[in-house]
Structure 1
């Protein structure tokens, strides 16, 4: 039997790169997409995968990417991220627009483009990497909260719309995971990013990747609708136990 193909967006680092590695170990051929092609190529080379440039916010880039994919049994919509911690009153609408474009419209663009391939596979899966921020809003997170709530909504609607089709849909919502997420959010401010995880033990990318691989390898009749994964030290979006 031929090997299944997994497509992972945002696969140059963090959860995306870890997911690509975990899925390769699970027996998938992996197609990796991201903007940082140099880092993407390194990850792909290490697992025998295929690296293709991808900017999920650009329609032409998505089309060029998906035209090269061919078979697709699993799509992991991982590309996303947060920018800033502005209040609603002080919202930078350019940042809100960018977060919405990558988290929401980016997920729609790639899913829409690859859905025919997923249906044609006879046992397709869409996994969307959301966030605890998609169901627990918090002050300062308005833009990211709004984007992740919207991404969660589209994921759940997709599941309903595909009922009867051979495609499963899963939403995975991580809590605090120590990757480059906070470094990007705070525009490279290492001290501010490190403070997010100070005094507690966060998840690591591999924790989420293992879950993605588990979801991807369930029997065809089993759909994992939604999983929220947090560290033991976290009991809510902003409820975190920190040791002195």
Structure 2
């Protein structure tokens, strides 16, 4: 029987690449994001190509009520979830802390921390009931190495790592695995979102360096998810070849 992977924020970047990587491996997909039309396009593409089942639904992970009411129904409809990939997340702004937008701060905290909390708290009981499952959380090198003008984003990703460790402790007597994936610089729409749609600023982030690609991270996520039962990968940190820590990048 095919396993089902639930991926949040699946419409672009690492989320989309991860959905495709699991589809290639023969997993059924439960995909959510705010843009249902894009999700439905993925469904139309993946189902005939990979001969899998793709279920899509619209969800804003920051909406606690929506998560608690919609997600359980979706999980029950597909017969349970084997792997949860908490991919939904974002950065907003790149400003010194004292001049940062409070709205941007709250958006990052609501999405990267609270949204991940809501989804994980909703999905985990289903996994505990079956005594199996794998939660994979998308952290960042920013959660290990703080960098200038990114204090709140870095703090949210540090929270992801610590939360993952805490859930692993609380589920230690079960067969549930918890993994944190911590990418460095990845060329995705991430920077365009950070700079509120400014394509020039976003492009400058990746200029002069061969950044990681979303597909690189997706392959590593699938690798972590397909290890033998005895193997639990607690965390993986991935950086570009010319990246040392966080924002320490050699550009040509």
CA contact (8 A) 1:34 1:53 kept: yes
Equivalent of residue 106 in structure 2, options 94, 97, 101 = 97
| Structure 1 unaligned regions, length at least 5 | none
The equivalent residue for 2:33 is: 34
CA contact (8 A) 2:71 2:122 kept: no
Paired residues for 1:13-24 under 5 Å? 13-24=12-23
Equivalent of residue 132 in structure 1, options 134, 141, 166 = 141
Aligned length: 242
Deviation of 1:60 after TM superposition, in Å, equals 2.4
Paired residues for 1:108-123 under 5 Å? 108-123=117-132
Counterparts of 2:226 and 2:130, CA distance in 1: 15
Which segments of structure 1 move beyond 3 Å, counting only runs of 4 or more?
none
Counterparts of 1:43 and 1:195, CA distance in 2: 29
CA contact (8 A) 2:36 2:58 kept: yes
CA contact (8 A) 2:93 2:100 kept: no
Deviation of 1:140 after TM superposition, in Å, equals 0.3
TM-score of the superposed pair, with normalisation by structure 1: 0.96
The equivalent residue for 1:55 is: 60
Root-mean-square deviation (CA, aligned residues, Å) is 1.0
Task: Describe the superposition over 1:29-75 as per-residue Cα deviations: whole angstroms up to 9, x where unpaired.
Answer: 11001001111111222222111111100012212133212211100
Counterparts of 2:190 and 2:136, CA distance in 1: 19
CA contact (8 A) 1:73 1:121 kept: no
The equivalent residue for 2:224 is: 215
* 2:16 is aligned with 1:11: no
Q: SS at 1:127's partner residue?
A: strand
Deviation of 1:122 after TM superposition, in Å, equals 3.3
| Structure 2 unaligned regions, length at least 5 | 48-53
* 2:160 is aligned with 1:151: yes
Counterparts of 1:34 and 1:93, CA distance in 2: 24
Counterparts of 1:66 and 1:90, CA distance in 2: 40
Counterparts of 1:44 and 1:221, CA distance in 2: 33
Equivalent of residue 190 in structure 1, options 166, 191, 199 = 199
The equivalent residue for 1:78 is: 87
Counterparts of 2:190 and 2:72, CA distance in 1: 26
Deviation of 1:207 after TM superposition, in Å, equals 0.4
Q: SS at 1:68's partner residue?
A: helix
Deviation of 1:27 after TM superposition, in Å, equals 2.0
Q: Greater helix share, 1 or 2?
A: 2
- The 10-residue stretch of structure 1 (213-222 or 193-202) with the greater mean CA deviation from structure 2: 213-222
Q: SS at 2:89's partner residue?
A: coil
TM-score of the superposed pair, with normalisation by structure 2: 0.93
